[in-house]
Amino acid sequence: MRVRLFVIVVFALIYAGIVSADDLKLSASAIPRNLHVGDLVTLTISAEPDSNVRVIFPGDELSLDPFSILNRRMDVDRSSDRDIELLILEISIYEVGTFKIPSIPIIFERADGEMGEIGTDPIDVTVTSVLKDETEPRGIKGPVRVDAKWMYQAAVIGGLILLLITAVLIGWFIARFKRKKALIPIPPPPPRPAHEIAREQLEALRKRNLPGKREIKLFFICLTEILKAYVGQRYAFPALERTSREVAQDLDGMKVDRVIRTEIVSILELSDYVKFARHSPADEAVREIFSRVELIIEKTIEHKLMDTEPANIPEPSKETA
């Protein structure tokens, strides 16, 4: 009886498009599934992790061949007891037939650093042409009589149009030849410095006032993403794709001031503690951690690193250590 019940549950999950690990439930849906060539399909991947699990969705390298990814965005559904993280993709296809949206791999990380991967179920999609089907070929039309007078008029009009185009081209070449100054191409603007981007992101995070709304976990997620993005751009490595432990290992092999490296790792470890262990620091500690991130950015601006003096970063308080 138990075996029979287990088989029924497994078939129900497969039919619903839901895949689950012990501490992560994953599902995918596509709307619509019957479409015309070039129509948009909204593909939604929903991940419902336990509180000690971090979900890592695939980045821009994701390929859904033969489908083209036109747009992507992230969202969070808080309508249930647990937050459901969403990856929403707008895709399209330019072929006719029945196709499968391939399985999308999702990586997850537990609080102890253990990594895992599960994938969504493939989804069938039927694509039809926008043209109406014509089962029988049209009949062959008979010969058409050509009016010679009309042909003469068309030749005269065509000749006049050709003369006008020729005159315009000659005038354009003469005007260009008489120009004294050559057109100087405008070089593209240089890429924005990492610290300017980070400052803007921190200011936007400050205005959201997440601690005041008691959204401490979301505040620390946003703060660590800003710090990782800055460190990755500043020291040229994909920090956003790394865990806190991997970021610490990468920084060990770079020319990073020891005090700054220790401060970065300390902030990342505290953020992991808040995100995965549900630790709730005091308001003063939250303000201090924000200021510590700002200070790291100010101390590691590229032109300031020409100084030989070590970075002067204050020691964290007992609440944030």
pLDDT (tens digit per residue) in 122-151: 999 999 987 765 445 556 666 766 667 777
pLDDT score, position 185: 62
Nearest CA-CA partner of 293 in 212, 222, 214, 191: 222
Residue type, 163: L
Q: How many residues does the chain have?
A: 321
Sign for the CA dihedral angle at 259, 261, 262, 264 comes to positive
- d(CA 72, CA 207) in angstroms, rounded, equals 25
Residue 237 neighbours by CB under 8 Å, 6+ apart: 250, 254
Per-residue burial over 135-154, b = 16 or more CB atoms within 10 Å of its CB, e = otherwise: eeeeeeeeeeeeeeeeeeee
Residues of the chain with pLDDT under 50: 1-17, 134-135, 305-311, 317-321
Read off the pLDDT of residues 180-220 as tens digits, 9 standing for 90 and up. 655 566 677 888 898 999 899 999 999 998 888 889 889 98
Q: What is the DSSP string of 165-199?
A: HHHHHHHHHHHHHT-SSPPPPPPPPPPPPHHHHHH
How many CB atoms are located within 10 Å of the residue 243 CB? 15
Residue 197: predicted pLDDT: 92
Residue 140 DSSP label: P
Element (H, E) at 232: helix 216-235
What's the pLDDT score for residue 132? Answer: 61
- What is the structure's pLDDT at 311? 45
